[in-house]
Amino acid sequence: VSTPLQKPIRLDRLLANCGVASRSEADVMLRRGRVRVGTEIIRTGATKVSAAEVLTVTVDQEPLDRPFGVSVLLHKPVGYACSHDASEAPTVDELLPELWLRRNPRPEWAGRLDRETSGLLLITDDHQLIHRVTSPRHHVEKFYEVTLGEPLVDLVSAQTMFESGSLPLDGDTKPCLPAQLLATSEPCRVDVVLREGRYHQVRKMIAAVGGHVEALHRTRFGEWELPGDLAPGNWVDTQ
Ligand code: URA
C-alpha cells in the first residue's frame, strides 16, 4: 500500500499494516480506548477510515508510521545478507526499523544482492511492485560498478560476448540476455548493465570472460538510483 489508499480501510487492518499490532491485538488496543481517529476514540476494528482520516489516526497519541506503506532505497553495505534468517547475521533487516519487521505486509527487497555486494536495494511492502520489477518478463535494467582483480586481457572481445546474447553462465542451461560491459577510465573498473537478475550473475559473467570480481556495487535498479550522498547502512524514502 505505497500509494494512497483508493478505498477506506478497516482500522484493525491499518494497525496491522503499520506493525502496531496483529489484528487480534489491535482489537484489545481499540477496546482500551488507545486508538483515535482525529480527536475521537474509536473502539471497533471494523470501523473504516478514508485516506484523509488515515493521517489523523493515533495510538497512545502517536501518529502511525508510514500509513500508506514503506518504500525506501537502502545503501546495503558489504557483509550484510538479504535474508530474514537471524542465523545469517548480519542481515539487512538489522538496518531497518524494528517496527517494520512486524508490518503486514512486510517490507521486502526487490532483487537481492549477494552478501559481498554493496549498493542499491529497493525495499517496499508493495509486493505487486516487487513482482513487476523482478519478473523475468519485464527486463528491468540494473547498473553495476565492478572492480576487477586484474584488467581484462581482451576487453573488446569480452564486450562482444556480453552483447551477443549467447554468453554461457556456469551452472545454467540458458545463455545470458544481451548485456553491456562498459570501460571506465580505470583499467580495473568496468560497468555492467543487465536486464535480468540471476544468481551471482555479474560475478559469473565476468568469470566467463576470464576476469575476477573483487568488488561489486549496484547504483541503479530500474527507475531508482542510489543517492550519491547516502552512506552505507542508511536508507531514504523513495519520492
Ligand atoms: N550479480 C552478482 O553476481 N551479485 C549480485 O549481488 C548482483 C548481481
The pLDDT value recorded for residue 137 is: 92
Residues 109, 123 contacting (CB under 8 angstroms): yes
The pLDDT value recorded for residue 4 is: 60
In the reported structure, the alpha carbon of residue 153 is separated from the centroid of ligand 1 by a whole-number distance in angstroms of: 22
E strand or H helix at 156: helix 155-164
Q: What's the CA gap between 234 and 112, in Å, rounded?
A: 17
In the reported structure, the alpha carbon of residue 111 is separated from the centroid of ligand 1 by a whole-number distance in angstroms of: 10
Q: How many CB atoms lie within 10 A of CB 64?
A: 19
Q: Kindly report the pTM of this predicted structure.
A: 0.93
Q: Is the CB of 113 under 6 A from ligand 1?
A: yes
Q: How many CB atoms lie within 10 A of CB 159?
A: 18
Residue type, 71: S
Which of 78, 198, 203 for a ligand 1 pocket mutation test, highest count of atoms within 8 Å of Cβ? 203
In the reported structure, the alpha carbon of residue 110 is separated from the centroid of ligand 1 by a whole-number distance in angstroms of: 13
The pLDDT value recorded for residue 1 is: 43
Residue type, 228: G
Report mean pLDDT in 10-residue bins for the chain, 239 residues.
72 95 91 97 96 96 96 98 95 97 96 97 97 95 98 97 95 94 98 96 96 98 98 95
